[in-house]
Amino acid sequence: MKRTLGAVAITAVFALALTGCNTSTEAAGGDSALKGDAASATCDAAEIGAITRCENFYDDYWPEIDKQLDTLYEEAKKADGGTLVIWDWYELSPDVIEQFNKRFPDIKVETRGLTYNLSSAIISAKATGSRNTDVVSGSITSMAAMYDEGFWEKVDWESFGVPKEFLTIGAPELMPDSINGTLIQYNTDKVESVPETLDGLLAPEYKDKVSVAGYNAVVFAGYGMAEGEDKMVSLIDELMSSGNLKLLEDQGAPLSSGDVPIALNQTLFNPNPALQVSPFEHAGVWAQFSGVNSDAKNKPGAALWTLWNAFDPDWITLRMTDERFASTQVPFAGLPAATFAESTGLMKTNSDALLLGLDNGAETETQATRDDWQAMINAADKALNG
């Protein structure tokens, strides 16, 4: 369930190359039949960066969403024999599926992990008439090709009880279920602290000590959005020419051993107790979204999964406290502060850093700035990889 924005440029280009097989008009279809009847509530709002938090979510919104899940479950059991297909970057673990089936036992979940090929696999399945995923997911930028080709069913999530404040960063059919972002990972056995800015990594003491993966150009995109493309490219050139920054496809082992003790990356899922993460100025923190595939065979099941995964309080508590689920994404920052206060272990490490980044004004992609983000990622990718 961990998702990434890393290879966005490659994925988007490859996926778009396949779009001659169908048109966005065909994929998008008309308005969705998926509509709930939840009573409206009023958000007790608090801003955390670009995201609105509803502190009363579990008091006033969740009971209505919970009712909708029961209705969706009855419909999902009848659709495609109760089969729910979920493709993502990584396949769902049996432990995750088990938690879902504790409440919804009559849904058979089939899952695949496709990493870089996710968007192209979804588009190809539509073109060939193959069984497609029911659930679509990604960040605004990483799923751009899928969105432009109409693969996000226009579900009225507010009618299912989701706060309207959650639906303003992306298009209304994009239901936010988590957050991710760029962080500095570091080995405290080798370096006590890291700079608060990417420019700070130019200092001589960081020679040979910093790594980035060639596919992860997004770690520089927030800096570019704030400071401009020229300054971003100049920074990347200086970091590489100074010898401070190394291109490593596998950053994990050198980070854990301390051979290259600082990694520009995203959330951390290495249990080594020496490893920490830190937000930095102009880091990107973005929402991750899930939704219903317009080509789905089990649309009620997809809506059921999307709402359960994003909001079910028992499941969220497990994600926050059970190390079996440390590789799941940090829940959406619009949930109450108390939800994050209960986090432990790696989830606490990641959520504390991402929330601090948001609080400090992290750069956040929106539907309106999507193409600018994509252009900045492409420019950073060219600077890193030539």
Task: Please give, one letter per residue, the 3-state secondary structure of the chain.
Answer: CCCCCCCHHHHHHHHHCCHHHCCHHHHHCCCCCCECCCCCCCCCEEEECCEEEECCHHHHHHHHHHHHHHHHHHHHHHHHHHEEEEEECCCCCHHHHHHHHHHCCCCEEEEEECHHHHHHHHHHHHHHCCCCCCEEEEECCCCHHHHHCCCECCCEHHHHCCCHHHHCCCCCCCEEEEEEECEEEEECCCCCCCCCCCHHHHCHHHCCCEEECCCCHHHHHHHHHHHCHHHHHHHHHHHHHCCCEEECCCCHHHHHHCCCCEEEECCCCCCCCCEEEECCCCCEEEEEEEEEECCCCCHHHHHHHHHHHHHCHHHHHHHHHCHHHCCCCEECCCCCHHHHHCCCHHHHHHHHHHHHHHHCCCECCCCCCHHHHHHHHHHHHHHHHC
- What was the pLDDT predicted at 32? 76
Residue 141 has pLDDT above 70, yes or no: yes
Residue 13 has pLDDT above 50, yes or no: no
- What was the pLDDT predicted at 385? 96
- What was the pLDDT predicted at 116? 85
pLDDT band at 33 (very low <50, low <70, confident <90, very high): confident
Residue 15 has pLDDT above 50, yes or no: no
Q: 10 or 80, which is more confident?
A: 80
